[in-house]
A and B are shown apart, each in its own frame.
Chain A
Amino acid sequence: NAGVMQNPRHLVRRRGQEARLRCSPMKGHSHVYWYRQLPEEGLKFMVYLQKENIIDESGMPKERFSAEFPKEGPSILRIQQVVRGDSAAYFCASSRIREGINRDNTEAFFGQGTRLTVV
């Protein structure tokens, strides 16, 4: 049972290019979260998605950043016209949907992250 898969692990882009980060959640998980971590800083929430829906994008910059989680395929975090300040580790996490009274075992599991370097 594979865990959360992120690719690529490392991505180098020149300023102005586009970066596409992919996240395949664990089997059976329908919630996906994206976080950004700048060097020497904590995790910062970006966006929370369920299949075909953006639930909360309050942490996402208004411009250049977008995210999707299609019915089929991985979740994609897209950064257009990258700048040096976008250099960071981007982590994806997934969790199960919560249904019924039993809300246990709803913890999130993380992928190993994509380290984006903008040169």
Chain B
Amino acid sequence: RKEVEQDPGPFNVPEGATVAFNCTYSNSASQSFFWYRQDCRKEPKLLMSVYSSGNEDGRFTAQLNRASQYISLLIRDSKLSDSATYLCVVAWGPYSGGGADGLTFGKGTHLIIQP
């Protein structure tokens, strides 16, 4: 099965700091990339998609490095409410016009923002 690897952490970071984590994927044919956030005992929710050119959404920046097969998430000016588990998600499969490609989730990186 295709693999997605993340550092499980926990990352303990003071409020206001910048934190970054990476995720590596094994399948070079991977097509789409996402970051999800999961709060304790709740369902994962989409945080942002990751585009080839990199993208930013407020305090969050996501980047993709296809050559090295990793994606990253940067959180600036971290807030207490950012404490959560961040899941890296990769969609694999060659382009086949609707073929049977699917999603692989990493096990998540646990982030704790401390006051």
Contacts and interface: CB of A to CB of B under 8 A. Distances in A.
Interface of A: 31, 33, 35, 41-43, 45, 48, 50, 55-56, 58-59, 89, 91, 93, 95, 97-101, 103-104, 106-113
Contacts of B41: 89
Nearest to A95: B103
A103 B108 contact: no
B43 interface: yes
A44 B41 CA distance: 14
13 contacts: A35-B105, A42-B8, A43-B44, A58-B1, A91-B44, A93-B44, A97-B98, A98-B99, A99-B98, A103-B95, A107-B34, A107-B46, A110-B45
A103 B31 contact: yes
B97 interface: yes
A110 B103 CA distance: 13
Interface centre among A35, A89, A108, A111 (most CB of B within 10 A): A108
Interface residues of B, number: 30
Given A91-B43, A104-B49, A45 B104 contact: yes
Contacts, number: 71
Contacts of B106: 42
A98 B44 contact: no
A56 B102 CA distance: 9
A33 B103 contact: yes
B44 A33 contact: no
Contacts of A33: 102-103
Contacts of A107: 32, 34, 46, 49, 89
B71 to A, nearest CB: 14
Nearest to A31: B102
A113 B43 contact: yes
B74 interface: no
Given A110-B44, A111-B43, A43 B108 contact: yes
A61 to B, nearest CB: 15
Interface centre among B1, B32, B85 (most CB of A within 10 A): B32
